[in-house]
Amino acid sequence: METRRALLVDAFTDEPLAGNVAGVLPDAAGLNEDRMGRVAAELGASETAFRFEAGDGADERLRYFTPSTEVDLCGHATIASYAALYAAGEIDAGERTLRTNVGDLSIRVDDDGTVWMRQNPPTVEAVDETELDADRLGDALGIDPAALRDVGADLPVAVASTGLPWLVVPVNFLERLGEAEPDAAAVEDISNAHDAAGIYAFTFDAIDAASTLHGRAFAPAVGVAEDPVTGTASGAVGAYLRSVDAFDGDFPDEIRFEQGHFVDRPGHVRVRVEGDEVRVGGRAVVSTEGELTLPAEREDDIIEA
């Protein structure tokens, strides 16, 4: 039977069993969509990245699958893939070009293993309160609507994207954000109505003094109730903060997002925004490595762990 090397990699952290776990298949050559979907379900991570040769100006291609569907881009699985490849000596530090379903992206691996992912040029579009008010959002997120109105005058709700759209929702205090008990169906309905992967709620009231903000990401529309640490959302929110002039014209060279504490998977994302260039960066640690056995391809193909 055919075997493939399979990894579980914890992204946006320096420690195993923290941050956001991703599945990684460093060599997915020859696997079709059905098999990739089955492998992703077997590994059980929120997303699994499958690496293929790309050619035509790119160094490699990644495809991303949740246990139930393919997604066009996944930040933490990208960071996890390149960190694991670098740690194994399969790639060198430096610049690389990654091909994804949303186009070619620039990746840089630093000598210390930090991976930087340049995301797509950002788009940010404020959402009118008549379309989505604080009461509906508060009910969906399980947050007192007053905690949303308190910051809404200065920081609007918006759909932001650097490749994957997120509905960005500011919250006044960490205590209120921590109390969130989302109604998954309501969050999914709102996400679908705004063509967003999910809702990223954040507050500047962070736990770590070194952090710019604390975020929580809810994405039941793509099968993830709460994502521990989210690279695509972090890039989108970085672009959002510049768009709404959240720092009164003095935008920092680098901002630090903390996330995952409320699901016992703490991690952080480094974000740099310069004009239309958004980069997210972080470390990653391989927590599990082994061989996945695949039966011969047939109509009733079943994956055996």
Q: Which residues, at least 6 apart from 3, have a Cβ–Cβ distance to it below 8 Å? A: 291, 292, 293, 294
Instruction: State the catalytic residue, choosing from 2, 33, 42, 47.
Output: 47
Is 273 in a helix, a strand, or coil?
strand
DSSP 58: B
Return d(Cα 205, Cα 201) in angstroms, integer: 12
Question: Based on the number of CB atoms within 10 Å of its own CB, is 296 exposed (0-12), middle (13-18) or buried (19 or more)?
Answer: exposed
47 catalytically annotated: yes
Nearest one of 232, 207, 208, 206 to 219, comparing CA atoms:
232
Q: Which residues, at least 6 apart from 54, have a Cβ–Cβ distance to it below 8 Å? A: 60, 61, 97, 99
Nearest one of 256, 195, 197 to 226, comparing CA atoms:
197
Q: Degrees (nearest 5) of the Cα angle 296, 298, 302?
A: 70
Run of H or E residues at 159: strand 158-161
Question: Based on the number of CB atoms within 10 Å of its own CB, is 117 exposed (0-12), middle (13-18) or buried (19 or more)?
Answer: buried
Q: Residue 22 forms beta bridges with which residues? A: 9
Instruction: State the catalytic residues.
Output: 47
